[in-house]
Chains A and B, each alone.
Chain A
């Protein structure tokens, strides 16, 4: 990295594109942080949650007597106490009109549907006393049959929710023939069965846990009839709206603050039982109440991610041209529907065809209930599943045809001169250059050399085999055009809001509705505004994450912040300039059209007369000499609704070494070249890619949420759920190509999820490429040594028998 001292950087160099060090860092590196659990209020009480050890049971009795008498205990509240106050937690994305969903109580009333569900809460003077007392709450359960396996759940009883009479929540279909975006996939498949190639596979997306580093925490201050709620959430605006809707509290009485938030990755894109219960406890006691989960509670009760069974059919001609793709998913909802649980597979529906030109396509997801922790968004949310499936299939097709996997992909992908391109899934990709990214990635990787080494190792029978994993991915980001969300039956919109205030002293305040939790919005938004308004980077202050300060917003997820929120900031800045132009023209006695604005200053064309933006702001503040009827302010708001998604893409290459004697895998080299459009801050972009890669690689090699036959999560601590450490990962070689987005003025595409989406198939393809010649066709993720070893043993046994 080039060490750039931004303090002496040339003011003439645009801020956008500079590797600015982050404004956010100072408090985070000195410990002056305001994570929710760091906050305390006078008289504050603490909550402890009694959670069910059973995955499915009837609650026969809850005896709270001993807990009530425990030292420091103020109240013990059960489902019976709160049944008529708690409402039902919402699903904001009913994907079909006949979607089935159980009532979703914050605290279970008469039955529990997953292990970890809250059955009672204890309110005490200290967190320790609350935890002591939860041990004394005696719950009498009557066990019910559990359903855990996806295929068994679809087949019939037992039911996760017997009152629904089925485990199927909804079935949702996209068919290119019906939609008019392509041909009938069944015809394509029939043709390929006659004289082409068919690849039929079933892949398993294991269950993952977002595992943000900061456990969730909520603090509620009931001040008179108002409520202030601090929550470790990605979505303070959602929390405010749903507290109002679910608990019947006027929205105007609720203030939600997301202070410093320690990561989310989709895991904090939720309206949680714990938020509802902390609010109810605060209203019950009339005192500030805080709840902070332990890590074990977080792993068992915060929503999980992925968990799909993917049944896939790819049709191609013998020359390797892909023609049809049929996707049939079983998607595990877990026990309940959270905010966007049911929509997660649907977010993948438009991406299975990826960068390839299929003629026919059909996507079906069957959403299934089981007695497990509910699932919902986890980094990528639907798109990693899609990318994994298609990139695995393309490798399997290449193997079937004896072709180089990159060359086969290039035969089928959209060429750079074909953009904009309407896909078989109904999307319009605005821009991209897969050839450029791939060429650069191959060069950085040393593709030909590694292929040669691979060949040598195969020929010599080296116990350590080398595989080259390929993933040429795209994703849809910038969630989302509101009309599209409406068409998909999502209840909300996809716009974002921003306000810009120019203070009398010339400093600038930017309010954004995108609530950051580590992404660096304060820095990036400052760069955008500094350029647009011609003010110093240091003079821009970015405010967010508090509904009293930023009342309008739709928060941070789906790689939307820059693409949608950044555009709102840009639009607000343009309105500020136009208001200031009126003042400048008036005071300079010029026609507004004769003013040029550059470098933060209006000048009258052809003269040296001018006025700085800050002077216009001060003139508005004084209001002594403004045009007649001019509202004395140059501040402005903007709400921006994107016209299309954005489509970042990239080529990721992984060199995997597999020890055929032990099954151990080693990621020797990882190269990725991403095209995320224009870049505001390369340092932040690179950081997002690194972190995304780590999470995607972790799905491929390390992480899995595992349940036993009773529905008990046995990977319920960081001892058992393997979040990789520094020692588990190499340094990555990253680079970029740039094809600017054409559907937004910044030309940006989003980068939050790219690394995660692209890397998982690159790794697994690499593992398989190393051992496919030994007869191994699949290793189910995570590719832990014992699984690789067993796959090798099975292949060698099978080979020996033949």
Chain B
């Protein structure tokens, strides 16, 4: 067992973890952050995507001990005081989800995508979300949601701040 200190969704936690514990297992089983889900064993589906120091990672591909001393943001930490993050709002408005299982990871990856490229083309959005699988939507409305957030942010040049503020 190893003691780790991690800031998750703005709360400081200090816990003993088994060394083999994956970050996603720590989030779900020890912190009860079940909003982040597990879809595969092989880092293909991206359902478990969270932000690690502001950038997206797949939480099934990182050990919990590697998160010691770092900031983690999950889907549960995006909305503040009942106000949705613009990407969450855009997913709702664009009907970018059906069963919702891929949605936490898809939203976290989409935010990171715009952090990296505030004004992506459709092709760049599609490439940028290549690591997140969705079986329901055919991706069209997900792409639309990301475009909607990018377009709304473009005039003020505010896209880059979104990921950091989450």
Are A and B physically bound partners? yes
Residue ranges of A at the interface with B (Cβ–Cβ < 8 Å): 1, 3, 21-22, 24-33, 35, 37-38, 128, 211-215, 260-263, 265, 294-296, 517-520, 683-684, 686-687, 690-695, 717-719, 723, 725-727, 729, 731-732, 755
User: Which residue in B20, B91, B102, B139 is a CB contact (below 8 Å) of A213?
Assistant: B102
Q: Which of B76-116 contact A (CB under 8 A)?
A: 76, 78-79, 84, 88, 91-95, 97-104, 107
Determine the chain A residues whose CB is within 8 A of the CB of B127 once the complex forms: 726-727
Find out whether the CB atom of B129 lies under 8 angstroms from the CB atom of A213: no
How many positions in chain B have a CB within 8 Å of any CB in the partner chain? Answer: 58
Asked if B138 lies at the interface with its beta carbon under 8 angstroms from chain A, I say yes
> Residue of B at shortest CB range from A718?
B44
Find out whether the CB atom of B37 lies under 8 angstroms from the CB atom of A37: yes
Chain A interface: which of B51-59, B61-69, B141-149? B141-149
Find out whether the CB atom of A718 lies under 8 angstroms from the CB atom of B42: yes
Find out whether the CB atom of A261 lies under 8 angstroms from the CB atom of B35: no
Determine the chain A residues whose CB is within 8 A of the CB of B79 once the complex forms: 30
Using an 8 Å CB-CB cutoff, how does the interface string of B125-146 with A read, 1 for contact, 0 for none?
1110111111111111111100
Task: Give min CB distance, B38 to chain A, whole Å.
Answer: 7
Find out whether the CB atom of B134 lies under 8 angstroms from the CB atom of A213: yes
Q: Which of B16-44 contact A (CB under 8 A)?
A: 18, 20, 25, 28, 33-42, 44
Q: A261-B99, A517-B99, A718-B40 are in contact. Are A213 and B135 (CB under 8 A)?
A: yes
Determine the chain B residues whose CB is within 8 A of the CB of A261 once the complex forms: 99
Q: How far is the CA of A82 from the CA of B163 in the complex (A)?
A: 53
Asked if B47 lies at the interface with its beta carbon under 8 angstroms from chain A, I say yes
Q: A520-B98, A718-B44, A732-B140 are in contact. Are A723 and B130 (CB under 8 A)?
A: no
> Residue of B at shortest CB range from A213?
B101
User: Which residue in A33, A265, A684 is a CB contact (below 8 Å) of B135?
Assistant: A265
Which of B130, B135, B143 has the most chain A CB within a 10 Å cutoff?
Answer: B135
Determine the chain A residues whose CB is within 8 A of the CB of B35 once the complex forms: 30-33
Q: How far is the CA of A731 from the CA of B143 in the complex (A)?
A: 9
Determine the chain B residues whose CB is within 8 A of the CB of A213 once the complex forms: 39, 45, 47, 99, 101-102, 133-136
Task: Give min CB distance, A215 to chain B, whole Å.
Answer: 7
Task: Give min CB distance, B113 to chain A, whole Å.
Answer: 11
Determine the chain B residues whose CB is within 8 A of the CB of A687 once the complex forms: 95, 98, 136-137, 141
Q: A1-B94, A31-B36, A726-B130 are in contact. Are A296 and B137 (CB under 8 A)?
A: no
A-B contact count (CB 8 A): 176
Task: Give min CB distance, B114 to chain A, whole Å.
Answer: 15
User: Which residue in B93, B94, B95, B139 is a CB contact (below 8 Å) of A726?
Assistant: B139
Determine the chain B residues whose CB is within 8 A of the CB of A30 once the complex forms: 35, 75-76, 78-79, 84, 88
Q: A29-B107, A719-B44 are in contact. Are A726 and B101 (CB under 8 A)?
A: no
Q: How far is the CA of A27 from the CA of B79 in the complex (A)?
A: 12
Task: Give min CB distance, B18 to chain A, whole Å.
Answer: 8
Q: How far is the CA of A24 from the CA of B92 in the complex (A)?
A: 9
Task: Give min CB distance, B54 to chain A, whole Å.
Answer: 18
Q: How far is the CA of A211 from the CA of B84 in the complex (A)?
A: 30
Find out whether the CB atom of A28 lies under 8 angstroms from the CB atom of B37: no
Asked if B74 lies at the interface with its beta carbon under 8 angstroms from chain A, I say yes
Q: How far is the CA of A687 from the CA of B47 in the complex (A)?
A: 20
> Residue of B at shortest CB range from A210?
B135
User: Which residue in B36, B92, B135 is a CB contact (below 8 Å) of A695?
Assistant: B135
> Residue of A at shortest CB range from B101?
A262
Q: How far is the CA of A732 from the CA of B47 in the complex (A)?
A: 24
Find out whether the CB atom of A731 lies under 8 angstroms from the CB atom of B42: no
Q: How far is the CA of A687 from the CA of B137 in the complex (A)?
A: 6
Find out whether the CB atom of B38 lies under 8 angstroms from the CB atom of A727: no
Determine the chain A residues whose CB is within 8 A of the CB of B94 once the complex forms: 1
Q: How far is the CA of A717 from the CA of B39 in the complex (A)?
A: 11
Asked if B122 lies at the interface with its beta carbon under 8 angstroms from chain A, I say yes
Determine the chain B residues whose CB is within 8 A of the CB of A262 once the complex forms: 37, 99-101
> Residue of B at shortest CB range from A211?
B135
Find out whether the CB atom of B95 lies under 8 angstroms from the CB atom of A22: yes
A sample of 16 inter-chain contacts (CB < 8 A) reads: A25-B92, A30-B75, A31-B34, A37-B34, A37-B38, A212-B135, A262-B37, A263-B98, A684-B95, A687-B137, A690-B138, A718-B44, A725-B126, A725-B133, A726-B130, A729-B138
Q: A24-B100, A263-B99, A687-B141 are in contact. Are A33 and B37 (CB under 8 A)?
A: yes
Task: Give min CB distance, B127 to chain A, whole Å.
Answer: 5
> Residue of A at shortest CB range from B144?
A1
Determine the chain A residues whose CB is within 8 A of the CB of B33 once the complex forms: 31
Find out whether the CB atom of B132 lies under 8 angstroms from the CB atom of A518: no
Find out whether the CB atom of B135 lies under 8 angstroms from the CB atom of A726: no
Find out whether the CB atom of B122 lies under 8 angstroms from the CB atom of A214: no
Determine the chain A residues whose CB is within 8 A of the CB of B135 once the complex forms: 211-213, 263, 265, 691, 694-695, 723
Task: Give min CB distance, B92 to chain A, whole Å.
Answer: 4
Which of A1, A31, A32 has the most chain B CB within a 10 Å cutoff?
Answer: A31
Find out whether the CB atom of B125 lies under 8 angstroms from the CB atom of A518: no
Task: Give min CB distance, A670 to chain B, whole Å.
Answer: 10
Find out whether the CB atom of A726 lies under 8 angstroms from the CB atom of B142: yes
Q: How far is the CA of A727 from the CA of B127 in the complex (A)?
A: 5
> Residue of B at shortest CB range from A379?
B135
Determine the chain B residues whose CB is within 8 A of the CB of A719 once the complex forms: 42, 44
Q: How far is the CA of A784 from the CA of B68 in the complex (A)?
A: 44
Determine the chain A residues whose CB is within 8 A of the CB of B47 once the complex forms: 213
Task: Give min CB distance, A208 to chain B, whole Å.
Answer: 12
Q: How far is the CA of A25 from the CA of B136 in the complex (A)?
A: 14
Which of A260, A518, A686, A726 has the most chain B CB within a 10 Å cutoff?
Answer: A726
Apart from A29-B92, A518-B136, 10 more pairs, CB < 8 Å: A262-B100, A295-B42, A518-B99, A520-B98, A690-B141, A694-B139, A725-B131, A726-B143, A729-B126, A731-B143
Q: How far is the CA of A261 from the CA of B100 in the complex (A)?
A: 9
Find out whether the CB atom of B95 lies under 8 angstroms from the CB atom of A683: yes
Find out whether the CB atom of A3 lies under 8 angstroms from the CB atom of B93: yes
Determine the chain A residues whose CB is within 8 A of the CB of B130 once the complex forms: 725-727
Determine the chain B residues whose CB is within 8 A of the CB of A27 once the complex forms: 100
Task: Give min CB distance, A462 to chain B, whole Å.
Answer: 23
Q: How far is the CA of A263 from the CA of B88 in the complex (A)?
A: 20
User: Which residue in B40, B138, B142 is a CB contact (below 8 Å) of A295?
Assistant: B40
Which of A21, A211, A265, A691 has the most chain B CB within a 10 Å cutoff?
Answer: A691
Closest 3 CB pairs of A and B: A31-B35, A518-B99, A262-B101
Determine the chain A residues whose CB is within 8 A of the CB of B92 once the complex forms: 21-22, 25-26, 29
Q: How far is the CA of A519 from the CA of B77 in the complex (A)?
A: 26
Task: Give min CB distance, A545 to chain B, whole Å.
Answer: 13
Find out whether the CB atom of A29 lies under 8 angstroms from the CB atom of B91: yes
> Residue of B at shortest CB range from A261?
B99
Find out whether the CB atom of A29 lies under 8 angstroms from the CB atom of B129: no
Task: Give min CB distance, A524 to chain B, whole Å.
Answer: 12
Q: How far is the CA of A3 from the CA of B136 in the complex (A)?
A: 22
Q: How far is the CA of A428 from the CA of B58 in the complex (A)?
A: 51
Q: A24-B100, A214-B99, A261-B99 are in contact. Are A296 and B41 (CB under 8 A)?
A: yes
Find out whether the CB atom of A518 lies under 8 angstroms from the CB atom of B78: no
User: Which residue in A33, A684, A727, A755 is a CB contact (below 8 Å) of B100?
Assistant: A33
Find out whether the CB atom of A694 lies under 8 angstroms from the CB atom of B129: no
Find out whether the CB atom of A31 lies under 8 angstroms from the CB atom of B140: no
Q: How far is the CA of A211 from the CA of B136 in the complex (A)?
A: 11
Find out whether the CB atom of A725 lies under 8 angstroms from the CB atom of B100: no
Task: Give min CB distance, A663 to chain B, whole Å.
Answer: 22
Task: Give min CB distance, B29 to chain A, whole Å.
Answer: 8
Find out whether the CB atom of B140 lies under 8 angstroms from the CB atom of A214: no
Q: A30-B78, A30-B84 are in contact. Are A215 and B138 (CB under 8 A)?
A: no
Task: Give min CB distance, A51 to chain B, whole Å.
Answer: 14
Q: How far is the CA of A37 from the CA of B36 in the complex (A)?
A: 11
Find out whether the CB atom of A21 lies under 8 angstroms from the CB atom of B93: yes
Determine the chain A residues whose CB is within 8 A of the CB of B133 once the complex forms: 213, 718, 723, 725
Task: Give min CB distance, A198 to chain B, whole Å.
Answer: 38
Find out whether the CB atom of A294 lies under 8 angstroms from the CB atom of B132: no
Find out whether the CB atom of B122 lies under 8 angstroms from the CB atom of A731: yes
Task: Give min CB distance, A554 to chain B, whole Å.
Answer: 20
Q: How far is the CA of A26 from the CA of B78 in the complex (A)?
A: 13
Q: How far is the CA of A729 from the CA of B143 in the complex (A)?
A: 11
> Residue of A at shortest CB range from B133?
A723
